[in-house]
Structure 1
Amino acid sequence: MRGVTVLGWISVVSLAAWVWLTFCHGLFWRTDVRLPPRAAPERWPSVAVVVPARDEAEVLPVSLPSLLAQEYPGEARVVLVDDGSTDSTGALAKELGEAGGLPLTVVSPGEPPAGWTGKLWAVRYGVEQAGDAEYLLLTDADIAHRPDSLAQLVAAAESAGLDLVSQMARLRVRTGWERLIVPAFVYFFAQLYPFRWSNRPSGRTAAAAGGCSLVRRSALERAGGVAAIRGAVIDDVSLARAVKRSGGRIWLGLADRVDSVRPYPELAQLWRMVSRSAYAQLRHSVLLLAGTVLGLALVYLVPPVATVAGLVAGAPRVAVLGGCAWVLMAVTYLPMLRYYGQPPAAALLLPYTAFLYLLMTVDSAIQHWRGRGAAWKGRTYPAPGRPS
């Protein structure tokens, strides 16, 4: 019974945490943060779409044609940067560009110098090739855009006076593992960086989604250019911080017309997606890692454990406390499940998914301690300040 009593007090803390998260944490769980009101500008500014691509031959036939087919009223072009691919990415991109649409330039920057991540070195090179375009759309090679996506992004930036407009692309949810992991991934990201807080000009929170970020060239230059974040593994959040810190206005929301076409059919692939950068997100801090593990356990694992233990041990107060926390957890997850077209009953599985994320985060730290760091497509990046 002493153990049940201790669990009861822990359940009180867990329930209090969920009350705070639900009502006082930027309404992170709501999915109504979409592109702000917009109108067609009197003059459509010039735009260059920069696409860093490394070994992306599998997805390019879907994503690149969607960019070339953009119905943009102003001047626009696409620059695809072949980042040392070992497959047919570069040749395939040139072939796809022959079908027509926006002008396409395919370039290769060579291997990144010390201190640069491969993606950001490719982005920097692409920005240089973009000429004097007033806006830069930084988008990943696995992202497909509806025909009016670029026009909508520019109209939102011009109408609201924004320097960075970013949309969290709708990720693929077809396999069982994708349905279990992907909606929670976006939910956890929004919990870590509440969109409403990020979008406040005076707020300290700043975040973006690397798959789709439209940035004013002048704002990027004022923030120090791509070089200012050259070593960042989590480059989208770093870009948002740099732009906001330099006085720029940023906006982040969920997408309706931007989709990721990259498949993650197996758990191993989703595991790598999360674990490759989780420890970097914690700034390679053992203390932050320990706090994250304890926080995940308290917030996501205690409610179902307390509910079941309370029922088994005949401790109704413990069961009620755990049940109330679990209900709040599930209710806040429902909007994200609806956004991804998943059944409401899946909300009850969020503790299990959170446990998987806890293991992924610990694995990310273990891989870093083994010297593997943040690895992506054959490249490994050490913590800042450590030799590669």
Structure 2
Amino acid sequence: MIQILEPLGWSAALGLALLLLLLEIRFGNAPRLQALPAEGTTEPAVQCGTFLRVVVPVFNERDNVVDCLEAILANRDPGLPWELVVMDDGSSDGTVDLASEAIRLRTEPLPLVRILEAGPRPPGERWCGKNWPASRAAALPWPPGDPSGQWLLFLDADVRLDPEALAAALFEASGSAGALGERSGADLLTLAPRLVCGCLAEWLVQPIVASLLGLAFSLEESNDPSETTAFAAGPFMLFRRRAYEAIGGHGAVAAEVVEDLALARAIKTSGHRLRYLIGTELVAVRMYRNLAALWEGWTKNWYLGLDRNPAAALGSAGLVLLLYTVPWALLPLTVMDPALAAPCGLAIALQLSLRVWSRLRFGTPITYWWLAALGGLLIALIVPASIWKTVTGRGWTWRGRSLA
């Protein structure tokens, strides 16, 4: 029986080696959003348009809203007039009061800041998650100007921007040439943020999920107009207003739970330019603060992210168990069969190598890497729970709101 397990150990080691290789191929030289040079050293930051609206949809974000707004308002002048809109979706935890107080206490000059209520959803219409408040914010009156020169940046409340983020993102998205070199331009610029983990559950799951997302959604293919692959990171999505309105905005994906993927696909299939960059130097996100939030979040998204494909979903659970849990589970058996030591040891060393690689490429610490087996088990539980919730609607919630 033990001899049968040896090929399993080698399969895990081979799978991890292949994963590491593919991630390095895809992300080793991936395009990154870089901060612009200090003001005054070269051309103006950007001639990127006429107006920027930064939108933060919020629902019960008391733990995040103040730090999020302070980070946004600490940004350098992005090179064009701009405003910040906080659109509340019926919070009951004091989010609005905290946001208002944070704005009131700031003494330095601010852009226009509006804290508004999204109001009730239209009767008989299905609006999931942040689609409703995001749509309401986008529909606010705009200053006169060409929509192709106006920008909409949607940020999640758990995002923290570096002070250089706005200027750098607008510079990249605006395209054209200048003294700072060519930039590609985009109708939707989305950034892969740096993952911040604080609780044990996050350290167990988030680094593994980040690796799987990198494997599933090719950055190069997402940026290639000739490829069908399209990916957007919901925490940071910068739209050219003209393109956003052309695809129908969040209203066109109102019923979508994973709206970022739906918007990315709409941008690409409509012939607009999608640009997906690594943004770990300028944007950070902490998605979940405890196990309950992580469980609710990933059971909400996992099955949908794999297009409701049960074989792909269960296959992802099996793959995670093989790569991350099996090597540690077999390790005690090396006492009875020393032949297991080589594949198990190699697989565990490769798990560490993956975390070191993530540290070097994306700044993710290697904290708790030796608990990967527990992370694999937790993800293996998340997957069937996600299928069950999505199919039946039972317990399918986000922040307590039913998605069924």
Distance in 2, matches of 1:185 and 1:229, equals: 24
1:333 CA displacement: 2.3
Match of 1:111 in 2: 120
Query: Where does residue 258 of structure 1 map in the other structure?
Result: 283
Q: CA RMSD in A?
A: 3.0
1:140: how far off? 1.1
How is 1:319-338 mapped onto 2 (pairs within 5 angstroms)?
Answer: 319-337=341-359
The corresponding residue for 1:61 is 66
Following TM superposition, by how much is the alpha carbon of 1:320 offset from its aligned partner in structure 2, in angstroms?
2.3
Deviation of residue 168 (structure 1)? 3.0
Instruction: Please state if 1:226 is matched with 2:231.
Output: no
1:279 pairs with 2:303? yes
2-structure distance, mates of 1:228, 1:194? 25
Aligned to 2:57: 52
**Mean Cα displacement is larger for which, 32-41 or 89-98?**
32-41
1:161 to 185, 189, 196: 185
Q: How does 1:117-196 map to 2 (within 5 A)?
A: 117-129=128-140, 131=142, 132=147, 134-158=150-174, 159-196=183-220
Which stretch of the first structure deviates more once superposed, 347-356 or 254-263?
254-263
**Deviation of the 1:340 alpha carbon:** 4.5
Of 305, 312, 322, which residue of structure 1 is paired with 2:335? 312
> Which amino acid is 2:130 matched to?
K
Note the 1:200-219 alignment, pairs <5 A. 200-219=224-243
Matched residue SS, 1:160: coil
Unaligned segments of structure 1, at least 5 residues: 383-388
Give yes or no for contact 1:162–1:251 (8 Å, CA) kept in 2: no
Query: In structure 2, what is the Cα distance between the partners aligned to 1:27 and 1:354?
Result: 24
**TM-superposed deviation, 1:28:** 5.2
Bigger Cα displacement from structure 2, 34-43 vs 202-211: 34-43
CA distance in 2, matches of 1:378, 1:154: 35
Question: Deviations 1:246-274 (Å, cap 9, x if unpaired)?
Answer: 2223213232222336761x333332332
Alignment equivalent of 1:84, drawn from 80, 90, 94: 90
What does residue 342 of structure 1 align with? 365
Q: 1:360 aligns with which of 379, 382, 385?
A: 382
| Cα distance change of structure 1 residues 328 and 171 upon mapping to structure 2, 3 Å threshold | closer
| Structure 2 runs not aligned, ≥5 long | 37-42, 175-182
TM-score, normalised by the number of residues in structure 1 = 0.84
* TM-score normalised according to structure 2 size: 0.81
Instruction: Please say if residues 194 and 279 of structure 2, whose CA atoms lie closer than 8 Å, have aligned partners that are also in contact.
Output: yes
Change in Cα spacing, 1:194 to 1:280, as seen in structure 2 (3 Å) is same
Q: What amino acid does structure 2 have at the position aligned with 1:204? A: T
Secondary structure at the residue paired with 2:25?
coil
Aligned length: 376
Distance 2:395 2:126 in 1: 14
- Matching of residues 93-104 of structure 1 within 5 Å: 93-98=99-104, 99=106, 100-104=109-113
**8 Å CA contact retained: 1:277, 1:374:** no
Using the TM superposition, name which of 368-377 and 208-217 deviates more.
368-377
Q: 1:303 to 1:53 in 2, by over 3 A?
A: same
Question: Which has the larger displacement, 142-151 or 280-289?
Answer: 280-289
Distance in 2 of aligned mates of 1:104 and 1:291: 46
